[in-house]
Structures are given as structure tokens and as C-alpha cells.
Amino acid sequence: MTQRRTPYLILAPGLILLILFLVLPLISAIFPTFFNGGFTLSNYTSFFLDEYNFGIFWRTIKVSLIATLICVVLGVPTAYYISQSPKKWRGLLMSITLFPLLTNSVVRSFAWITILGQDGILNNALMNIGLLSKPLTLLYTEFAIIIGSVYLFLPLMVITLVGILENIDSEIMEAAETLGANRLLAFVKVILPLSVPGIIVGSILVFTGSMTAYTTPQLLGGNRNIMLATFLYQSATALGNWQGASVIALIMIVATLIVMKLFNWVAGRMDKRGEANA
Amino acid sequence: MRKNVSLKIFAGLVFAFLIVPLLIIIVTSFGTNSTIQFPIQGFTLEWYTKVFNNESFMDSFFLSLQVAFLATLLALIIGVPAAYSLARHTVFGRNWIKSFFLSPTIVPGLVVGYSMYQFIVIKFQFPIIQGLLLGHFLICLPYVIRVVGSTIEQLDFSIEEVSWTLGCTKIQTFIKVVLPNITSGIFASFMLAFINSFNNIPVSQFLSGPGVTMLPTSLMNYIEYNYDPSVSALSVVLMLGTVVLMFVIEKTLGLASIS
């Protein structure tokens, strides 16, 4: 009898801590948003019907989607390049990729403040060579948040993909070329389909990461380009609207789950289609 | 193998994109001008002395170190036996429990910090520092469960059986046989959890108060009102920390083990 109980005793402390400090706080914050006298969804319907709120929600989705697409476009060839490099180079290239990932995200966003600012490096450089007569507004725009998010999450995409692409036999590319495909075609027809599982996992990480990131929109978006995370913080602290903050909190959790399910569903569909074609 | 030139250039540009912004920070940290400039005029180490003499930076640095260390330690104490149990015992609803242990990664960090602040600090009047520690424990736990879990799954079960046959109790076996065999997993998860806790912002954002500010939060607050090279200098110090950590990981486990 004790035998059967042991695992639960070992698991209990972790489970209890998670219930006490993750589940209960979440329930206690989110539960009240469904009650106003009786059960109601009005907090949520009015959130999405409000033009200002919906604009923030839409911006968050849009920025995350664009950042994810850019990460895929930049990440797949780079990961392929790393996976095909000789062993001695691979370590160095992986270090270059890992280094930003392990560096604090405030530092990484700050780097883009110095580059994109009104008096920043990019504007100064462009004005010095005479391409611009007055500085562009790059910082505190959606563009800045997108760049910052790509910068933040591209390493995750690359590392996820390297793990997948390393297992692809390099002879497969040679075979495709022998059979008459040029390099680009061989890449699109052979490497891209094989990296789909990595692209899916990487995209989930990038999309959910950008969608819930706080540092990037806070430092690079400014007051006019609020995203869900900064909106939550603002609602709770500056506006003292705890109910509103809890509504945003649940929207962020549900959006994360939907994105994960959606990407996995797409991956599943693609697998099936592949089988049907085979 | 023939090298594809366009692929090489493309990858080169991506690596430049990843590394150049950080190199620019390093350069700007030595500038003499009182706002950030690039290229710099003059060379000074003044900003570094400013950083080390800035009390709020130093206090938050030590707080961040302590919280990250204690949270990781707590996650290991609770997570290692749990990971062992999930890998070895027949547990009802095993996959469900495992996903539950990994669930803090699904809940956005800011939401974790927000709900914990509301529940623990406001409702139950816990001191903020305890909420902070527990919040960071939640960040650390999934790394321990995932990394240590997969190390234990790769460990040959028969060596434990041998130990039992030779008269060790289950607890003795766990301490004398299992633990020494999974030190690399424990170390890797320690590193991952520590780095992520130390660098985390969203969870700490709500859980800060007078005298309780983590270093990234304190740096972020500073950036909102200042644009001087001391931010660059502090960034360089943090990057040096990253380099040291990467070096230690490379020498002990190999960087491949954490990616």
C-alpha cells in the first residue's frame, strides 16, 4: 500500500505549490470577470466591441504574425547553413546564435533604441551619406516592435530548426540536384518540407513569445503602440482597473492556447496531406 | 561539397543582424559624451565606475542573484524527485501531471506576476519578496522537470535494480546511484533555470516594491528616463556574465546540451 502511495507523496509538494501559487491566483483573478450579479460574458464582448481595445488586440496579433513570418524567412536558410557547416565552425555559429538569446531582453531592446532613435545610429548614418534630409521616425512605431521581436526570438527559431535540419542527410540535396533541380528549387522542394516540424515548433515559440512579450513593446513601442502585455500593465497600475487587467490576462492565455492548437492542427493537416500524396 | 555563395551571404547577414547591435552597445559604453553616440568621440571608463557606484543597480543586482539562486534551488529540491517519480513510477494521470508541471511556460509571465501579486501580496498580505521568489520558482520548475526528466529516462533502469538487489533501500539508491548519474542533467537545468530567472522581467514587473527591484526591472526603469552610456556599460557587464556562463556550460556540458 505504501508502495503505491510513494509517487504521490513525492509529487505532492510540487503539485501543491503549483495549485496554491499558479492555479488559485489565476482563478481568483479571472473568476470575477465572469460575474456581475449573475454569470456574464459582457466583460469580454465589450472588450472586443470597443474599438480602442480591439485595435490593441489586432496590433498584437499583427505584430506577432509578421515577426513570426520574418523569423521563418530568416531562420530556415540560416539554420540550414549552420547544419551544413563543418563541425569546427558549427560551434562558433551556434554561439553567435545563442549569445543574444542568453542576454537580457532589456539589453537587446536597448540596442535597438540606440539604432532606431530619432538621433540614433541609423538615422545619423543615413543623413551623413545624404540619403535623408531629416530623421525618420523609426522608434516608438509598430516597425520597431516587429524588429525588436524578431531580434528577440530569431535565435529560438534558428536553434529549433538546427536541431531538425542536422538530421537531414546532405546527400538528399545532392540527389535532388543530380535529378535536375537547381539549388533554390532543391531547397524549396526538399529542405523546406523537411523542416516543417521545426518551423511549426519555432513559430509557436516566436508567435506566443511576441504576443505576450512585455519588454519589447514597452521599450520600443512607446505610448501609442500598446500591445496586450503593456495594456495589462497599464490597466492594472496606471488606471487601477483590475477587472480590465484580468480580462486581458485571460485573453492572453486563451490566445496563446489557440495559437498552439492552430499551429499543431496545421502541422497535422500537412502530415496527412503528405501521406495522401505519397 | 560546393558552397552556395548566396546562402553564405544570406546567413552572414543574419549573423551580423544578431551580433552587430550588441557590438554597438559595447562601443557606445566607452564614449565620453553624456548621451549615447556612435561612433564615439574619446574614450572613458567613467560609465563603468558610475554603474558600480549606482546603489540601486548594485542592490538590484544582488537581489536578482539571490532570487534566481534560491528559486532555482527550490525548483531542484521539488523538481528532481518529482521528475524521477514521473519517469519511474506508475502514476495515475502521468502525462496530465507532467503537463501540469510544465504549465507555467504556457501562462504568459506577466499574467503569472499579475495574478500572484493580486492574490498573494494584496489578498493574503505576503511580503513582496516571497511572491517574487515563488514567481521565479514557477519559471524554474519546468526546466528542471523537462531536462532532469529526460536525463532520468535515458538512465539505465537496471543499475537501480542491481542496487536494490545488493541491499540498498530505495532512498539510498536514489541518493547513491541515481543522483550521481544525473548530475549533468541537474547542472544543465540549474543553468537554464538560473539564466531565465535572472533575465526574467514580466514575472517581476508586478512583484516589485520599495527596495525590492530586480536588476532587469531596475535597468528598464532607468532607460525610461535616461539615455546615457551607463546603460551601455551595465549591458556590457551583463553580456560579460553571459559569456562566462556560456564558457562554463561549453566546458562542462557542451553548449549543444542546452539548445
pLDDT of residue A219: 95
Dist CA A66 CA B147 (whole Å): 31
Dist CA B192 CA B30 (whole Å): 31
By C-alpha distance, which of A54, A221, A24 is closest to B112?
A24
pLDDT of residue B123: 92
pLDDT of residue A186: 82
pLDDT of residue B231: 94
Compute the CA torsion angle A231, A236, A241, A243 (nearest 10 deg).
90
Q: Kindly state whether A222 is in contact with chain B, defined as any CB-CB distance less than 8 angstroms.
A: no
3-state DSSP assignment of residue A160: helix
pLDDT of residue A151: 97
Q: Kindly state whether B87 is in contact with chain A, defined as any CB-CB distance less than 8 angstroms.
A: no
Tell me the backbone φ, ψ of residue B209, rounded to 5 degrees. Answer: -160, -170
Dist CA A99 CA B258 (whole Å): 12
pLDDT of residue B258: 67
A38, β-bridge pairs: A36
- Chain A residues in contact with B220 by the CB 8 A cut-off are 106, 215, 218-219
- CA B76 from chain center: how many Å? 13
Dist CA A104 CA A225 (whole Å): 22
pLDDT of residue A171: 81
Number of neighbours of residue B26 by Cβ within 10 angstroms: 14
**Using alpha carbons only, what angle is made at residue B164 by residues B162 and B165, rounded to the nearest 5 degrees?**
65
By C-alpha distance, which of A26, A107, A89, A160 is closest to B110?
A26
Task: Tell me the pLDDT of chain A averaged across its residues.
Answer: 90
Pairing of strands A38-39, A35-36: antiparallel
pLDDT of residue B201: 94
ipTM for the predicted complex comes to: 0.91
3-state DSSP assignment of residue B212: strand
- Chain A residues in contact with B25 by the CB 8 A cut-off are 107, 110-111, 114
The dihedral through the CA atoms of B9, B11, B13, B19 has a sign that is negative
Give CA separation, A171 vs A85, A158, A190, in Å.
Answer: 14, 22, 11
Using an 8 Å Cβ cutoff, are A263 and A219 in contact?
Answer: no
- Chain A residues in contact with B238 by the CB 8 A cut-off are 103-104, 107
Size of interface A-B (CB pairs under 8 A): 231
pLDDT of residue B35: 86
Which of A110, A170, A253 has its CB closest to that of B111?
Answer: A253
pLDDT digits (tens, 9 = 90+) for A144-156: 999 999 999 999 9
pLDDT of residue B242: 92
By C-alpha distance, which of B223, B224, B238, B230 is closest to B29?
B230
pLDDT of residue A273: 59
Set of cell numbers at residue B104: 507555467
Using an 8 Å Cβ cutoff, are B208 and B133 in contact?
Answer: no
pLDDT of residue A172: 81
DSSP state of B124: S
Dist CA A224 CA A141 (whole Å): 8
| Residue A145, C-beta contacts closer than 8 angstroms, at least 6 positions apart | A63, A216, A217, A220, A221, A225, A227
Within chain A, which residues score under 50 in pLDDT?
A: 1, 276-278
Using an 8 Å Cβ cutoff, are A225 and A143 in contact?
Answer: no
Mutate to test the interface with B, among A22, A147, A161 (most CBs of B within 10 A): A22
The dihedral through the CA atoms of A95, A100, A102, A107 has a sign that is positive
Tell me the backbone φ, ψ of residue B212, rounded to 5 degrees. Answer: -120, 80
Compute the CA torsion angle A48, A54, A57, A59 (nearest 10 deg).
160
Mutate to test the interface with B, among A3, A72, A106, A253 (most CBs of B within 10 A): A106
B51 CB burial (10 A radius; 0-12, 13-18, 19+): buried
Mutate to test the interface with A, among B18, B64, B205 (most CBs of A within 10 A): B18
Using an 8 Å Cβ cutoff, are A94 and B250 in contact?
Answer: no
Dist CA A243 CA A237 (whole Å): 12
pLDDT tens for chain B, 259 residues: list them.
445 788 999 999 999 999 999 999 999 999 998 888 888 888 999 999 999 999 999 999 999 999 999 999 999 999 999 999 999 888 888 999 999 999 999 999 999 999 999 999 999 999 999 999 999 999 999 999 999 999 999 999 899 999 999 999 989 999 999 999 999 999 999 999 999 999 999 999 999 888 899 999 999 999 988 889 999 999 999 999 999 999 998 888 777 766 6
